[in-house]
Amino acid sequence: MTVHKLVRLTRESAADFVRVASHCDFDIDIANADVTSYTVDAKSMLGVMGLNFRRPMMVSYSGYNRDLEEFLSDNAAVA
């Protein structure tokens, strides 16, 4: 089952997000919530930095990692 969560990232928190995502053994995608046709690999710093940080982002994944869940919870965006 694929999980979708809205988050708000800043340029500063993006590095932490990519670090946490890189430790997961499953695929994680991220896209600006309003432009989901442009989806990038959440483990790619270059890809994540190409997103619009002024808008909420949609994170999609199929797996569980406690650190990822904690990060997403701490940076949750209000829909």
Please report, for the domain that includes residue 38, its CATH number: 3.30.1340.10
17 near 9, Cβ under 8 Å?
yes
Whether residue 79 lies inside any domain: the answer is: no
Given pLDDT bands bounded at 50, 70 and 90, which one contains residue 1?
A: confident
Residue 61 maps to a domain? yes
pLDDT tens, residue by residue, 26-60: 999 999 998 868 999 999 999 999 999 999 999 99
CA dist 65 and 21 (Å) reads 9
pTM to 2 decimal places: 0.92
